[in-house]
Amino acid sequence: MIRLLAILATVITIYAFVECAITPQEKVRRFPKWAWLLIIVFTGGIFVGSIAWFIAGRPKRPGKGRGGPRKIIPPDDDPDFLRKL
């Protein structure tokens, strides 16, 4: 059982490290990318840094209601544009 937890912690830590390393700097949240990499590496045995990366550091995925792509409205149907006329 302990071996399984150790393997799971190692896999999660490696996955979080690689995902953080390939994420563009401008999309990383809360801390700079180098800080996240250090947090993930130095807390690898207990995988707290990896979980923190997944919760607070990695970019949010676009989805419904989360600022995804907006629908383009032509000017004659856009009430904000028509108010400005």
Tens of pLDDT, residues 5-54: 888 888 999 999 999 999 998 888 889 999 999 999 998 777 788 889 88
Specify if 50 maps to a domain. yes
Specify if 27 maps to a domain. yes
Specify if 11 maps to a domain. yes
Domain that holds residue 7: 2-61
pLDDT at 57: 87
Specify if 17 maps to a domain. yes
When divided into structural domains, the chain yields a total of 1
Specify if 82 maps to a domain. no
Specify if 69 maps to a domain. no
Residue from 14, 61, 66, 62 nearest 40 by CA: 14
Specify if 77 maps to a domain. no
Residue 13 tokens read as 């830590």
Reported as a pLDDT band with limits 50, 70 and 90, residue 66 is: low
Read off the pTM. Answer: 0.66
